[in-house]
Chains A and B, each alone.
Chain A
């Protein structure tokens, strides 16, 4: 059971492998993000170099799937054929205070017409798409 109807573009790791650890992590139910080995800066989305100290020595670390809503939107107009009969849905931008306030995008589970509160606490929910080719798992969010 997925929040959005099936048929949207399936995420796959980049050809250069940069973000593969993230997508491999979500399949295991783990939220993996980048952290610089040299200076400890958290970084998201994935990049080859630390934006703070310019070290190429980035590590991937598992972080707790908790955060707070930084911003949100509610799309109504379907722009992709898979969304044609979807109705409105909610997208939230979640910041992770325990990981340098990096931000992650996801859908807010529950009633798509519910009120959304900026600053509200949320927790991650792993949403597997086992039948997709290739299979993938999305990270979604629900009120904590």
Chain B
């Protein structure tokens, strides 16, 4: 094991969000959403936004750091970084990149952000009409495999088959998210409770996933402010210290045409051990977990690969009461997450993880000290991170 680490080196001292909107309903352009989330995070931290000197984002974020820096009148831009690929898999990776920049002295105050107005651009869940397909897409699109759900359902199907996992396991994940969203006024699905009967009666999107197994498509933005740990106590709010972060994927995970040797995976089997090693944390010590839900089956695999239970225990562990705050064994997606709060490409999960450590969640776990986020199952690269209170340092 290496002594090079991010453990305790940086802290998240500001969180910001815009209101969350149904897909296509944002009154603001996407770039304005980005600005508003960043300014909200600066306000939360109690700083002048002109103290920001770096930006980190992921996936296909369209809001260029240089334009943001110009728009915000930043005196200087010292760091701009994009986590490659991976869709939502880059959420914790973007935090890791920002943390590495701050810990390594490249910048002093980095914003991690994601802004998404799918109503103004191409939706993730719909394919553009007609056209030709080349390379990897040529092996998928002519067979009707175009959307993320269609792309990843076969990974989950194989996992469910190999481990004899029944319908209740995925359903429990959806029910927990919706139950938490009912307590969260920010949630797009607030006021829209979900029952087991309604889940079972819902239409298939792509077997093995029903409507409620799939994330929403939304408009909005979220941002986090990362500073050196030694400055963290100078800010307005209780800091959330980064204990560990890891990103990547397994051997040949990206082999084209669904040829990853370890196919039935959420891509975390090599990543999770690095995460726990850096954080010095065991799965049993995690008080509250936000796990990115593009689809419930990916959450299921992520929990297994992060050691919360074994695959053969999934049917027993994944029941709603184990996943609900405050009393469940593993309170999961306590804001409602991508399924029911807002699909902010998972960055809302990081915001919620900080909120839990501050004691400000609408589904608050009692005095949590270890708050964890898993980002983007089944894609490559993926990432995950662990935050801790000052007591964990």
Contacts and interface: CB of A to CB of B under 8 A. Distances in A.
* Residue of B125, B150, B208 with most chain A CB atoms under a 10 A cut-off: B150
A114 B9 CA distance: 56
A118 B208 CA distance: 14
A106 B145 CA distance: 9
Contacts of B257: 44-45, 103-105
B158 A70 contact: yes
A79 B140 contact: no
Contacts of A138: 142-143
A38 interface: no
Contacts of B132: 9-12
A91 interface: yes
Contacts of A82: 129-130
A5 B125 CA distance: 20
B262 interface: no
Interface in A26-80: 44-47, 51, 70-77, 79-80
Contacts of A89: 144
Given A75-B144, A76-B203, A91 B135 contact: no
Contact of A9 (B126, B137, B158): B137
Contacts of B281: none
B256 interface: yes
B245 interface: no
Nearest to B209: A73
Contact of A73 (B131, B157, B263): B157
Nearest to A16: B135
B135 A19 contact: yes
Nearest to A106: B143
Given A8-B142, A91-B144, A15 B206 contact: no
Contacts of B139: 11, 45, 104-105
B138 interface: yes
Interface in B191-234: 203-208
Given A11-B138, A93-B258, A105-B143, A75 B206 contact: yes
B143 A91 contact: yes
A47 to B, nearest CB: 7
B138 A46 contact: no
Given A4-B143, A10-B142, A11-B134, A77 B255 contact: no
B142 A11 contact: yes
Contacts of B126: 79-80
A71 B161 contact: yes
A14 interface: yes
The 3 A-B pairs at the shortest CB distance, nearest first, are namely A45-B256, A45-B257, A11-B138
Interface of B: 125-127, 129-147, 149-150, 153-155, 157-158, 161, 203-208, 252, 255-259, 263-264
Given A11-B141, A73-B150, 9 more contacts: A45-B136, A70-B158, A76-B206, A80-B129, A86-B144, A89-B144, A105-B139, A106-B143, A138-B143
